[in-house]
A and B are shown apart, each in its own frame.
Chain A
Amino acid sequence: MKLITHNMLTSKCLKGVVTGYPLAIHATDVKINEVDFNPEFVTRIIPKLDWEVLWKAAQSIGHGEGLPQVIQPKYEEDSEFLKKAHRVLLEVEVEEGYLTCPESGRQFPITKGIPNMLLTEAEVQ
């Protein structure tokens, strides 16, 4: 699971959960997969994200070094920043671990890089 994917996942459909976001990450295995650097793509994705959630997620799995907590104005001209954002968003992958709903504590296992967000019927709103 890449952090770009983590950034958009919620557990809001759980019964009784209001926001279900962000999901906490507990990672037991993290790997880096190189992806071609495409500054235009990264620049375009950044405003769509919840940056603070990305920053916290990166910190929580030990890959947040050098990543600013707040996006700077004119970030699109800062290629060092874009490279770091690229790495954290697209290259860092959680292979094993679990995600936790911030309200209910429900855990969603991550196995072989795939988060399992399936719910039982009884769990759904």
Chain B
Amino acid sequence: MKLKTLEGHLGSISGFSKPKIQLEQYETPAHIAAVALYTIQTQYSSIEDKLVLDAGCGPGMLSVGAALLGAGTVVGVDIDDNAIEVLKDNIEDIELTNVDAVLCDFLSPNLLKWNNYFDTVLMNPPFGTKNNVGMDMKFLRMGLDLTSDSVFSLHKSSTRSHIQKKVKEWNAKGTVIAELKYNLPATYKFHKQQTRDIAVDLWRIHH
């Protein structure tokens, strides 16, 4: 599938019906998701025929994209029932049968039985601001435990040195494989500007 086609499909799926600030829900823009997934597949062959986990999947931008790129199975997990329902509607609308969804707290220990079970873990975690300081690192750490290969994760570029430090502490390896611009539309009332460009890194973190 071509990048443009993927982005076109992703541009048509539904987003959060009721975004919740306490969960730091921001939609992954179709363009970012498409470029990220395309990079992950073409450079690392980490999607097609792989068992993929989408941690904090929301309405499923990464889950749907990975499924469209031929993942063996994608499991999307999220703590928000509204978001999971939208994901379910999205996969039914596009008639994808290689996606499964679980409503759960991704960070609750032992919810998923085996370490290193998934080939690939994808995430666009909460940025870890507001009341969620450190949440992004908790997501990353859990993702790393669950993959036998790599976690691909989106983070604000401003957190780059912090992530480098953490990855080192975990004795893991990590590199920024793409730098992207996240055009964040005003989602919540406290946003003063209509849209704001945020520099975002696509990280590959592996054992």
Contact = CB atoms under 8 A, between A and B. Distances in A.
A12 interface: yes
A104 interface: no
B113 A118 contact: no
A102 B11 CA distance: 43
B97 A34 contact: yes
A122 B108 CA distance: 13
Given A34-B97, A40-B49, A114 B102 contact: yes
B145 interface: no
Interface in A107-125: 112-119, 124-125
Nearest to A40: B49
B142 interface: no
Question: B97, B108, B113 — which one has the most chain A CB atoms within 10 A of its CB?
Answer: B113
B180 to A, nearest CB: 30
Contact of B104 (A41, A50, A117): A117
B103 interface: yes
B102 A13 contact: no
Interface in B145-197: none
Interface stretch (B25-33, B78-86, B123-131, B198-206): B78-86
B97 A10 contact: no
A21 interface: yes
Contacts of B88: 112-114
Interface secondary structure of A, over-half rule? loop
Contacts of A88: none
Nearest to B148: A48
Nearest to A41: B72
Contacts of A35: 97-98
A117 B97 contact: no
Interface residues of A, number: 35
B137 interface: no
Contacts of B85: 112, 114
A87 interface: no
A124 B97 CA distance: 33
Interface in B99-132: 100-105, 108-114, 117
A36 B72 CA distance: 9
A101 interface: no
A4 B109 CA distance: 19
Given A38-B49, A41-B49, A117-B104, A10 B84 contact: no
Contact of A9 (B72, B73, B97, B112): B112
Contacts of B75: 5
Interface of B: 49, 51, 72-73, 75, 79, 81, 84-85, 88, 97-98, 100-105, 108-114, 117
Interface of A: 1-2, 4-5, 7-10, 12-13, 20-21, 33-36, 38, 40-41, 45, 48, 50, 90-91, 93, 112-119, 124-125
26 contacts: A1-B100, A2-B100, A4-B73, A5-B102, A8-B112, A8-B117, A9-B112, A9-B113, A10-B110, A12-B111, A35-B98, A38-B49, A41-B49, A41-B51, A45-B72, A48-B51, A112-B85, A113-B101, A114-B85, A115-B104, A116-B81, A116-B103, A117-B104, A117-B105, A117-B111, A124-B108
